[in-house]
Structure formats: structure tokens, C-alpha cells
Structure 1
Amino acid sequence: MSEHTITVAGVAVDTRHWIGGERVASTQTFPDVSPIDGSTIGEISRGTAMEAAAAVAAAKAAFPAWAATSRAQRARILHAIADGVEKRIEELAIVETTDNGALLRSHRRGVMPRVAHNFRFFADWLLQLDHEDFDTRGHTNHVSWDPAGPCVLITPWNAPLMLATWKVAPALAAGNTVVLKPAEWSPLTASLLADIAAEAGLPAGVLNLVQGYGSEIGDALTSHPDVRRISFTGSVPTAKRIAASAAAHLTPLSLELGGKSPLLVFADADLDLAVDLAVEQYDNAGQVCLAGTRLLVEESVAEEFTRRFVEKASGLKQGDPRDEATDIGPNIHPRQLEKIDGFVRRALAAGARAVIGGHRGDGQYYAPTLLTDVAQDSEIVQEEVFGPVLTLQTFTDEETAVRLANGTRFGLAATVFTGDPERAERVTARLVAGTVWVNCFFVRDLQAPFGGSRLSGVGREGGTWSFDFYCDVKNTVTAPKGWKDHG
């Protein structure tokens, strides 16, 4: 076994970058620590501007041939990657659970199958991507999607492989080459993806992987003149730095950022359903961008809703995410845990009341928390915590409900529970959000547009919207006359 290979729960993982079809080591490393027990999993190659430049150069060199590859062949390779993922679901699941602390059962049953689906969906969508020709005064308009060039994809730590492939799959399907920069807190499954892609026949340089700290390699990637698209999922402050860096070359951006999403419960709602799905907001230890962390409940049912919520949430089991019985695992990193605890301590000091939780557990675990008696303009209501912390406010009418729901700088998602379809239509029409769920939660179809409003993001991806972003969309207008006789 190579000195650059670590073993994670019996799975061999290469700790080096993947550039131009080869493993590349850095002179320095950074530790990858498991949030389950704080143990160091291994030392990971720590990229610099040199590795970033090499990865972009490799992507640029590979781009002409990959862009010229037929749609059918690109689709075949993407399906082969999906096959490789499906063969290694168990390995990918245990490595990612060890790396980021999310539930093993979720990785096995939902997340890793979704990774494979990401590749299959965009492979199939590529083959049906079309726009019907249309006429302008006898002239024919033909719309086409041309590959844009090398893409830099910067992905988060909360669902590392799924969110990486949500970007990688459409970028590759579109005929682009990719430089993937995974989050330094959870880099391991991205390395396994590089192996799977190579085994599936993806040409060298089409997918490149650079690991390391964003502060050290981010600008080298996002300001590079040869990069033609940047897609980022993460925090608003980091997005602002990326946007400033990309501005020098007007590189198009797709940004999926923070959320402070409302979950509205009207008095005529199915309270059992509303409570069940409200408790689901603790999924992944609250580290879900779409989570409805602000519970807004009609005053007349607030007491009953809270009673049922506390009863349901109190039954959640927090512990080792590798245990099938566990409902909530650890938070990703000591810094994140400190951030979560700081938010809650300041809220309590300002007069909030913890109905449940409100404190740390052992290790990197934070108790599922529900805070009431919070003001709309308070930090805990306005800022993204990204942990198992929910707030509860009440309202007396639709107008107040909508005002509270829209009363932050964010606009990623919203959830509405009501038994009145007319009310659902009225309220959802006024909510500022990229996705709204009515009497359901987290129903996601890859053909639907996905993105945020306000500070929650820029742009939309999914289905044809992904190809619109990852391509240069061209319209060719042809005159009805002027052809020479070639007979």
C-alpha cells in the first residue's frame, strides 16, 4: 500500500490530489479528523496555488477533446460512473460517515444512491436536451448548448459527495472539464470519486481534484483566466470573496448559500404531519441548508404543537452515526460546535427560553434545541446557525405569518402546512424562496430549478437550468435563401 493511502473502516483512500489523470502529492498535508470521536483519520495533501494552476491547466488541455465527444459517448461514461458508485455504495457510505459524521443508514439508503442518480439523470437529460426550432419572418432559429470550458466546483462538508456530484455530473454532461475542490473537513469521498471516474473511462484531465484550504488555493482557482464557470455551495462571506475574485474575468457564477428558512403551521393544518416534519429539521445534526429552522405557528394551536413537538423530539436518539438506531450524529468540527453553542448562549442571555436542549453533549454533539421567546430582529432568528437549533414564533393571521417568514436576508426555502388549498396558494405566492414545500418537506426532483433568493444565492441549477449555466447557449438564425446549388 502506498504511503499516501489511508484505510478508513477497511476502505483504501488515496490522500493525494488527482490532476491530469495522475495522483499528485503536496509537500505539506492537513489533518482530516473524524467528528465521531475526534480521531485523526489521516493526513491529506494540502494544495497550493501551484497545484491549483496545474489542475486548471490539465482541465484546459483536456477540454477540446471532451467537448468534441458525442453526447451519446459522454452519457455512456456518466452511466459507467454511476455503475461504479453503485458497486461501492457500502464503501462510500462508511467512509463519508467516518469523515463527516452523518448517519450511516442515510448514506446507505438515500445519499449514495442519489449520487449515482445524479450521474444517470444528467446523462439522460443530455440526450433529450433540445429546443424546438422557431421561425422569425421565414428565418429559422436553432438553439444549441455549447460547452463553456473548464469549471471550478467548490463543495461543502455537510453532504460532500452528493453535493459534489450535483455539480460534477451536469458540468461533465455539458462537455466541460472540471476542477473539484472539496471541503477540507470532509475530503475523502471526492478522492474515491476520482478513482471511480477513471475506472469508468473518463479521460485524463476531464475531472481533477485539488484538496486543501480555501484560503490558500481558492483565489488561484476562482481568479484563473482559463476558468469559464464557478459553482459554489457554502457561506455568504466566502461567496462574496469568490465573486470578487471571479469579477476580474467576468467568470459566471452559480452560488447556493445560506438559509434561514421558515416552516409555517396554520391552525387548519394536519398537526401530526407538521410536527413529524418539523422534528425532521434536526436531520444531519441540523447541518442542512434547506432546513426550516424558524417554526412559525398560528397562536391558537401553538401550545398543542409545542407539546407534540417536545414529545416527538425527546424520543430522538443522539449518538454514534454508525449505529442503525441513531437519529442524530455529531456536528462536523469543534469550530462549528463552538459556533452553534455561541448562538444559543447569546440567545438565552437575551431572554430566549430553551424548551428542549440548549446545551452541548459529550464530544462534538449538541443537544437538539428549541428556543421560544425570541424577537424577530434577534440574532438567533436572523442568522444561520447550521446546527440542531430551531426557534418558534407565533402569528395570528396570514399577513403576520408572511411578514415573519420573509423577515430575514435569506430566501432559500420555505415550508407551509395548511388544510386550505386557497390559503396555500395565497401564501406561497408571497413567500420569498427558491423552493416552497406545501404539506411536505425535502421532496427534490433533479429536473426542478434549485437555488436561492436574496443572500441565499445566485442562479438556478437542475434539469435544463444546469445546462443553461454550464454551457454557452447559442441561437443560430438561418435565412431561407442564399444557398448555392451543390448538386
Structure 2
Amino acid sequence: MTEHTLTVAGVAVDPRHWIGGERVASAGTFTDVSPVDGRALGEIARGTPAEAVAAVAAAKAAFPAWAATPRAERARILHAIADGVEERLEELAIVETTDNGALLRSHRRGVMPRVAHNFRFFADRSLTLDHEDFETRGHTNHVSWDPAGPCVLITPWNAPLMLATWKIAPALAAGNTVVLKPAEWSPLTASLLADIAAEAGLPAGVLNVVQGYGSEIGDALTSHPDVRRISFTGSVPTARRIAASAAPHLTPLSLELGGKSPLLVFADADLDLAVDLAVEQYDNAGQVCLAATRILVEETVAEEFTRRFAEKAGALVQGDPREEATDIGPTIHPRQLEKIDGFVRRAVEAGARAVVGGHRVEERYYAPTLLTGVAQDSEIVQEEVFGPVLTLQTFADEDEAVRLADDTRFGLAATLVTGDRERADRVAGRLTAGTVWVNCFFVRDLRAPFGGSRHSGVGREGGTWSFDFYCDLKNTVTAPKGWNGHG
């Protein structure tokens, strides 16, 4: 333990950057505050463009050797990182809960095991990257995935380590080097990951972590001429700024942005299942990009659905996320809480009715909320709230359901509940969404493509699609003759 180390929930965390295999301080700091109790956790190094440029330089310097490292050796190191995550799972879980307020039980049972799985899956997948050779007039075509170079990865605060490693693991497995910029509201587990990666034998400079505000260091990272890939998860306005910054160098982008996803409930659905899936949208206090925040219910069952929903939502336990019985924890930050409350207040003023919730709970919580009487073109239906706020609308038939579902600028996901398989296939085919769940929610397989349509994103990651993004694909065409200089 050094003089710089913070102690967070009994765990030592270094608040400095990780650049070129060393801890690097900044002249300034910012205060990291826990949403659990509002307590200051410590002062975090506040990056400047100088640290951002240094991190890219370290990634560039480390790239040739890491790119030349055999895939099997890279995979071995990624598995060692996964081992380290599993060994420190409890520490990672409690630190992340303290830092971002998500449920400790979820971090223990789902999120941190997924972090380890991210490394294992992409490590193994890199070893199977292959495309069958094919011939053109006797010439052989051979497709290969070549490492692209230094990658800048910018990640959000709602699932910090899981979403960071969803990007880091394939980038490293592909042979690239990484500069990670974690969200300033939840930076701590990124720092712990840097320690774990170093202990696992990841060479210096292959993974770098720069903390701070995007407004202060973002452009230095995304406009840098040596950066070969940028992957960002966050808001549409920030994505526009990143795209503009990357444009002069034509740096390829992968953007996973917001959502305003629908949940369609047909009259032939299992209503208990539909209610369960709807209430599940309050997961992580509604701070989930995939959440189906627009509930669309066939009008003949809407009254019964609403009654059952209100009963089930009313039984949810809101409180300390470290407690096993808690279902909904706090909102990440007072600024986010104010944003959520503003959305609801304006909706009610416009004529909406809060069937469930509709108000703050103490200083750090927002009550699970369901609003009815909302217009399709209203702000509350069209804009992402990113909090525990759902709307309920009704539809008369399948055509109206699809029209309402697709009538936003987003297209990240959709969920539909029906007892008719033919209808499920028909409606799923008509919906604009990167992922459609039928009679289920949040079932994710790393082999599948993930991303959004329209304003919900650009590109797909997951499975081979991740390597398609993080690599330069090459086709080598070889003539059947001519090895000795003669035809």
C-alpha cells in the first residue's frame, strides 16, 4: 500500500492513471462520491491532454510486440486475467457497488463472472478465427484478421467493468493495444483491472487507463492520429462529438448508444410472464440502455396488466444495494436524479398520470414509476430517461403495435410477449432493433452480434463481429504458378 492508495470498502485502490505499466499522477484531481451514502471515496487523478497523449504513445510503442505475439500466448494471458478477476471477484463486486450503486448480489452472481467470461470467450474465439480459402480462376484467396493498432475505448458508468471488458477483451485478443477512458462517476474497478492485468503478465503499455472528464481529455484521445479504432458506449450527443473528432483521420468507430425500447404485450400472452418482464425493466434502478421503458399493451388486457403490474412493482424493495433483500438501489449521481425527476414532472404537467411512483425517495433514490396517459410524440415517450421510469400505452391490433414500437429515433432492442409463435416471428421481423427478445429479456450470448439501429448506434460487436471491427481484414490472392519467376 502506498501513500496514494485509497481504501474503498476495505479494498486498496490506486487512484492514479495506469500508463505504460506505471502509475502516473496528475496535477489535479476530482472527487469520487459513492451513490450509496453520498460519502466521498477519495480524490482521483484528473487527466489532462498530456496524460491522454502519453497513454496513446505507450499503446503505440507496445503495439508491434503485442501484435507479433502468437494468438495462443495472447489467449493464455487473457485467461490469466480472467483467473485474477475470479480470485478478486468479491473485492471487485463490493468496490463497484460502492462506486456506482448497483446491487451487490448482481455483481457477485452475474456481473463479475461475466467480466471473467468476457476475457475467456474472446481469448478462445481468437484461436478459431478462420475463413475457408476459396479459388478464383485457379487463384487462392486467403482471408486474415490483422491487428489494427492502438484502440481508444470509452465506457459508461452503469456497468463499468463489464462494459469495459466487453471492449478490452476482443481488442487485446485481436493483438491491439488499448487506452481505456472509464466514466468519471465510476472509475475504481478500471484501476483494479489494471493491477490484475499486470499481475497476469500483460506487457507494459498494452493496457492503459486514463481517468478524468471527457470534456477535458476526450478530444486528445479521439482525434489522435495514431489511434486506429474508437469504441464508445454512451449518449447520442457525445457520440456526435466523438465522430466529429475522429473524422479528420477517418478513424473507424463502433458506437453503442441510447435506447427507448418497447415491450409489446399481446392479449394472447401469459400475463404473469409479461408483468414479470415489465417489472424487470427496473433493474439497476432503470439505468440500463437495453431497458424496455415503453410498455405497449393490447387494449383488451391493459386494465388487468396494469393492475398486476402495480401490485408486483409495489412489492419491490428499494434501499441499500449492499443488502441481499434490496431490489432497487440508488441513482448514480444527484445530477442524474434531477434529470429523471425533471422528465417525470414535465410529463405529469403535460397530462400523464403516475400509476406507480412518480417521485423521489429520500436524497439518492427515485421511486419505480409507471406513467399512463402519455402521447406518442411526448418527450417522456421519445427521449431516454435512464432511470426507473416506464410508460404504458395501448394498441388495438398488430399493425398499431408495430407502428408505436418503431416510432422513435432509437432502435437498440425490443421485447414482445405472445402465445402465438407465428405472430412472434411476424412481429419480430417488422421491428427495428438490434436485438429482439420473445417471451424473455436480457438473454445474452457473446457469440451473437450486439448493437443498435438508427440513433442507437453504429456497427455490431460480439463473436466474430468484434474481430471484424478490431482488426484490419486482409484478403491475400495467390497465383497458381509463378514461384520461380516463370508462368
Residue type matched to 1:113 in 2? P
TM-score (norm. length: structure 1): 0.99
The residue type paired with residue 28 of structure 1 is G
Amino acid at match of 1:86: E
Alignment of 1:38-117 (within 5 A): 38-117=38-117
Q: Indicate the residue corresponding to 1:418 in structure 2.
A: 418
Please give the per-residue CA displacement for 1:115-149, whole angstroms capped at 9, x wherever unaligned. Answer: 00000000000011111111111111100000000
Offset of 1:484 from its aligned partner?
Answer: 2.0
Percentage of identical aligned residues: 88
Could you tell me which amino acid in structure 1 is paired with residue 357 of structure 2?
G
Deviation for aligned residue 1:233: 0.1
* Structure 2 residue 453 is the aligned partner of structure 1 residue 453: yes
C-alpha distance after superposition, 1:167-218 (max 9, x if no partner): 0000000000000000000000000000000000000000000000000000
- Residue identity in the other structure for 2:273: L
Q: What is the match of residue 337 of structure 1? A: 337
Cα displacement (A) at 1:162: 0.1
Q: Tell me, in whole angstroms, the C-alpha distance in 2 between the residues paired with 1:266 and 1:4.
A: 57
Q: Helix, strand or coil for the counterpart of 1:171?
A: helix
Decide whether the 8 Å contact of 1:153 with 1:178 is kept in 2: yes
> How far is the alpha carbon of 1:485 from its aligned partner?
9.1
Q: Give matches, 1:119-134, under 5 Å.
A: 119-134=119-134
Give the corresponding residue for 1:392: 392
Q: For 1:128, what is the secondary structure of its paired residue?
A: coil
CA distance in 2: counterparts of 1:58 and 1:101, whole angstroms: 33
Aligned to 1:192: 192
Give the deviation of 1:328 after TM superposition: 0.1
CA offsets, 1:211-240, max 9 Å, x none?
Answer: 000000000000000000000000000000
Q: Secondary structure at the match of 2:127?
A: helix
Kindly provide the amino acid, as one letter, of the partner of residue 209 in structure 2: L
What SS is found at the alignment partner of 2:365? Answer: coil
Correspondence for 1:225: 225
2:371 equivalent to 1:377: no
3-state secondary structure, aligned to 2:230: strand
Q: Distance in 1 between matches of 2:4 and 2:207?
A: 20
Correspondences of 1:148-227 after superposition (within 5 Å): 148-227=148-227
Give distance in 2, aligned partners of 1:429 and 1:356: 32
Contact residue 62 and residue 204 of structure 1 kept, 8 A = yes
The answer on whether the counterparts of 1:37 and 1:363 sit within 8 Å (CA) in structure 2 is no
What whole-Å deviation, never above 9, does each CA across 1:443-466 have from its counterpart, x for those lacking one?
A: 000010000000000000000000
Distance 1:43 1:277 in 2: 40
Once superposed, which parts of structure 1, at least 4 consecutive aligned residues long, lie more than 3 Å away? none
User: What per-residue deviation string (whole Å, max 9, x for no partner) do you get for residues 37-58 of structure 1?
Assistant: 1110000000000000000000
Letter in 1 for 2:105: R
- Letter of the 2:448 partner, please give it: A
Distance 2:147 2:109 in 1: 34
**C-alpha separation between the residues in 2 aligned to 1:390 and 1:365?**
16
Structure 2 CA distance for aligned equivalents of residues 419 and 379 of structure 1 = 32
1:3 positional shift = 2.3
Deviation for aligned residue 1:106 = 0.2
CA positional deviation for 1:483: 1.4
Give the match for residue 273 of structure 2.
Answer: 273
Q: What is the rounded CA distance, in whole Å, between the counterparts of 1:48 and 1:447 in structure 2? A: 37
What is aligned with 1:136? 136
What CA distance in whole angstroms lies between the structure 1 residues aligned with 2:304 and 2:139? Answer: 65
Aligned residue pair count: 486
Aligned to 2:443: 443
Superposition RMSD in Å: 0.8
Letter in 2 for 1:379: E
AA at the equivalent of 2:81 = I
CA distance in 2: counterparts of 1:126 and 1:288, whole angstroms: 29
How far has the Cα of 1:363 moved from its partner?
1.6
- Which deviates more, 48-57 or 135-144? 135-144
Distance (whole Å) between structure 2 residues aligned to residue 94 and residue 171 of structure 1: 27
